[in-house]
A = this chain, B = another copy of it.
Amino acid sequence: MKMRYPCRMDRIDAAILKSLAADARAPVSAIAGEVGLSQSACTRRIQALEASGHLLGYGARLGHRRLGFRITALVDITLGTQVEEDLARFEAAVAQIDGVVECALVSGGQDYRLKILARDLDDYERLHREHLGRLPGVVTINSSFVLRAIPTRSEAEALFGGR
């Protein structure tokens, strides 16, 4: 299949991405209808978006709470070093911990911000003791717990303009 990797993205592509972001398992024909395209044209656009890296894949939205995970923790971790090897060791260790679903090195002091899922406070305490506490090079750990999640724009809406 001959296929370029264009940066060009018109509003139809944006609409397709929005639609897929809202319901990735919707039939292509339904998406095509929404965006005013034929099925085949829509399929080809989706393929192009996948090939060009605008569309990375598809995932399921899981009901954390329903699955027994009631704790979301946002954890700030400060390291005592800025040496790249130490950062790499820390990052490798973090990547092994079950429950850590996000981790980012952020500006403003040499620290990391994690998002952690846990069943309950006991579960989180165990995680903290067995894993977070043993991470290499850590100076401070600061845990906050999500009390309430505020509904916001979806990712797609943020990227392509509000609803």
A interface residues, Cβ below 8 angstroms from B: 9, 17, 20-25, 52-64, 66-67, 69, 72, 74, 91, 94-108, 112-113, 117, 142, 144-159, 161-162
Contacts and interface: CB of A to CB of B under 8 A. Distances in A.
A21 B155 CA distance: 17
Contact of A147 (B23, B63, B72, B106): B106
Contact of A24 (B59, B100, B101): B59
Contacts of A105: 146-148, 150
A106 B72 CA distance: 10
B59 A61 contact: yes
Contact of A67 (B9, B106, B113, B154): B9
B22 A59 contact: yes
A106 B115 CA distance: 12
B52 A56 contact: no
Contacts of A159: 62, 64, 67, 69, 117
A55 B62 contact: yes
B67 A161 contact: no
Nearest to A92: B150
Contacts of A112: 150
A77 to B, nearest CB: 11
A139 B139 CA distance: 28
Q: Considering residues A147, A158, A161, which has the most beta carbons from chain B within 10 angstroms of its beta carbon? A: A158
Which are the 3 A-B pairs with shortest beta-carbon distances? A24-B58, A103-B150, A106-B144
A17 B96 CA distance: 21
